[in-house]
Structure 1
Amino acid sequence: MNMALWIAAGLLAVVALTGGVSKAFVPKEKLAQAPGGEWTEGVAAGLVRTLGVLELLAAAGLVLPAAVGIAPVMVPVTATCWVLLMVGAMVTHVRHGGLNAFVALNLFYLALAVFVASGRFGPAAFTA
């Protein structure tokens, strides 16, 4: 169980890192042209960058606290926040393109985050 939780958290961290870098550092106009980036057209550039920074923080929060042994409870807290972020992402994608592959992908990430949060808050919690 512990290994599966580490793998799930690592996968989510890679996803968050990738999304965070693109939202924080790629110009909004270029993001709008990418598949799934249509939602950025009606949004302020500052909000897109803020979401990118939050995703970068999530990437760190899903792995680093447990890896370094400092406040490992932040792993399931971050996974819970990721669940909320994915709900927002699904709503946004539905509004801008209906039910599509991005909604399904967000649902998969949401399920992984629920797995990490429930596992790390529950039976495979980090102990001090």
Structure 2
Amino acid sequence: MNVALWITAGVLAAVCLTGSAKMFVPREKMAALGASAQWVLDFSPGALKAIGAVEQLAAVGLILPAALDIAPVLVPLAATGLVLLFACAITMRLCRGEKITIVGDLIYLAMAAFVAWGRFGPESFTG
């Protein structure tokens, strides 16, 4: 189970680092990527930078505390934060009527919930 949690945390960290590109790419350029990226036009550039910063912090929080054995309790807290982030993403997509694009967010939410559950419970670093 520990290996599955590490793999899931690694995949989530990669997803978050990729998603944090919204901090550097202009929103008009991101919106031109396709229909699933049109949501960026609903947010100000500052809000997109804040979302990107949260994603970067989550990516770091999922891996580094446990890998360096410095405050590993931050791993399940980062995963819990991602659960909240993806719940908000799902809510936003529902409000926009983007029901097909919710599938990816639901998968990421389930992965983050798995990491939070596993690291708070049976495979915690403090046990």
| TM-score normalised by L of structure 1 | 0.94
Letter of the aligned partner of 2:119 in structure 1?
A: R
Letter of the aligned partner of 1:42 in structure 2?
A: D
Could you tell me which runs of 5 or more consecutive residues in structure 2 were left unpaired when the two chains were aligned: none
Range with greater deviation from structure 2 (88-97 or 42-51):
88-97
Query: Could you tell me which residue of structure 1 aligns to residue 11 of structure 2?
Result: 11
Equivalenced residue count is 126
1-side partners of 2:60 and 2:108: how far apart? 16
1-side partners of 2:106 and 2:82: how far apart? 11
Letter of the aligned partner of 1:51 in structure 2?
A: I
Query: Could you tell me which residue of structure 1 aligns to residue 123 of structure 2?
Result: 124
Q: CA deviation at 1:83?
A: 0.3
Query: Could you tell me which residue of structure 2 aligns to residue 76 of structure 1?
Result: 76
* Runs of 4+, deviation exceeding 3 Å: none
Q: CA deviation at 1:107?
A: 0.3
Q: Find out whether 1:114 has 2:120 as its counterpart.
A: no
Letter of the aligned partner of 1:108 in structure 2?
A: I
Q: CA deviation at 1:94?
A: 2.0
2-side partners of 1:126 and 1:27: how far apart? 39
Q: CA deviation at 1:93?
A: 1.6
| TM-score normalised by L of structure 2 | 0.94
Q: CA deviation at 1:42?
A: 2.4
State, as a whole percentage, how many aligned pairs show the same letter: 49
Query: Could you tell me which residue of structure 2 aligns to residue 103 of structure 1?
Result: 102
SS at match of 2:99: coil
RMSD of equivalent CA atoms: 1.2
2-side partners of 1:41 and 1:27: how far apart? 10
Could you tell me which runs of 5 or more consecutive residues in structure 1 were left unpaired when the two chains were aligned: none
Query: Could you tell me which residue of structure 1 aligns to residue 33 of structure 2?
Result: 34
CA deviation map 1:61-88 (0-9, x unaligned)? 0100000000000000000000000011
